[in-house]
Amino acid sequence: MKHRTFFWFFLPTGLAMLLFIAAPIVSVVLQSVFAPHEAVLETVETCTPFRCSEETAINQEATRALREERPLGRFVGLDIYLDRGHLAVAEVAEAWRSTDSFGAFFSELGDLPFYRAMGFTLTYTFTVTPLLIVLGLMIALAVNALTQWLKGIVIFFSLLPMIVTPLVGSLILFWMIDNRGVLGNFLSWVVGDPDLSVKASTPLMWIALIVYGVWHAAPFAFVVFYAGLQTLPEDQIEAAQIDGASRWQQVRYIVVPHLMPLVTFVALIQLMDNFRVFEPIVGFNAAAHATSLSWIIFNDMSGETRQLSAAAATSVMTIIGVAILLSPVLVRTWRDFKGKT
């Protein structure tokens, strides 16, 4: 394609990307290095239906003057990235100095919101992603082996977890694992402990969230792999069968290599999605046991006082985190691309 043609061809997409991807990212980065002005506080008489008292309030005139002078707020550089709510540099250094074992150091780290969130997020991402790929592949192979008239119904039901709104899906599971719910009751009957509560135990809650994550995302992998299976070269399979390859060998040496580009695609999308795990934490009311970067952003924005700068800093860190996670896959894709040309 001529450069000139390419330019006009790409222009609309390029503009849309600038407007909807680049501009918001620039705005978030800007937001994260500016914080609200220092509040000018004063003590004033405050009367409510119950009583009058002397209370601290913000001096509106003085604050308004500050805002008009510098509408972006106060420039704080990387302060917010380094504070306790984020990378907590000072606290981590202190924990390193004051602890004498790795165990103690990591338990101190778990007390800091960012590291606690990363602990769960990474565990979740790296268990859910492989599990859902394997499960999706198994479902796809099973469905592909069905007779034609059964396929439609089975495909529909296999897709249900993905069709159900994430929040609703997690709420359903949340009620089922309640210690008075179906699954919760069943579990406590299995282990013979009537007081067993999934929601009160951190490890069990993590497992519940991971099970939910796999349940919710496996249909996506299934659909992609099922589509891939339709392009499976029949002659290779037949040749393998003539050579006496078992079903497992056929899958291992023909089906999986054929689907490999799709596995990369699913892994890419799901790594990104799982790193931003959010809905199940809210749906399961699981914030006491598990948090994620997305949950921290939500939490910063939903208090009585919205912490825009803190939320913006966490957003930038999420973008960086996703970029780091995807880098091996992206580098591979780039190499493949270079290899081909």
Residues making contact with another protein (CB under 8 A): 35-39, 41-51, 55-58, 60, 63-64, 67, 74, 76, 79-80, 83-85, 91, 111, 113, 174, 178-179, 195, 197, 199-200, 202, 284-289, 299, 301-307, 309-310
Of 113 and 321, nearer to another protein (C-beta) is 113
Q: List, in order, residues 6 or more apart from 53 with CB less than 8 Å away.
A: 45, 46
To another protein, the closest distance from the beta carbon of 310 in angstroms equals 6
Min. distance of Cβ 294 from another protein in angstroms? 15
SS3 58: strand
Q: Are strands 74-75 and 52-58 parallel, antiparallel or unpaired?
A: unpaired
- Of the pair 174, 275, the CB lying nearest another protein is at 174
Query: What single string gives the DSSP state of each residue in 90-151?
Result: HHHHHHHHH-SSHHHHHHHHTTSHHHHHHHHHHHHHHHHHHHHHHHHHHHHHHHHTS-HHHH
Instruction: Give the CB-side neighbour count of residue 293, counting CA atoms within 13 A.
Output: 24
Of residues 198 and 266, the one with the C-beta less far from another protein: 198
Specify the length of the chain in residues.
Answer: 341
Shortest distance in whole angstroms from residue 259 CB to another protein: 40
Least separation in angstroms between CB 26 and another protein: 20
Helices first, then strands: H and E counts in the chain: 17, 4
Q: Which is nearer to another protein, 2 or 97 (CB)?
A: 97
Q: Toward another protein, which CB reaches closer, 39 or 323?
A: 39
Contact call for residues 291 and 113 (beta carbons, < 8 A)? yes
Shortest Å, Cβ 126 to another protein: 24
Pair of tokens at residue 275: 């790193």
**Judged by CB, which is closer to another protein: 195, or 234?**
195
Minimum CB separation of residue 163 from another protein in Å reads 25
Q: How far is the CB of 39 from another protein (least distance, A)?
A: 5
The two tokens of residue 79 are 């302060």
Q: Please, which residue, 80 or 255, has the CB nearer to another protein?
A: 80
Orientation angle between helical segments 308-340 and 113-144, nearest 10 degrees: 40
**56: which 2 tokens?**
């601290």
Residue 41 and residue 56 in contact, taking contact as beta carbons nearer than 8 Å: yes
Whole-angstrom distance, CA of residue 181 vs CA of residue 172: 10
Smallest gap from residue 113 Cβ to another protein (A)? 7
Q: Which is nearer to another protein, 48 or 148 (CB)?
A: 48
Tokens 């990591």 correspond to 106
CA within 13 Å, CB half, 65: 5
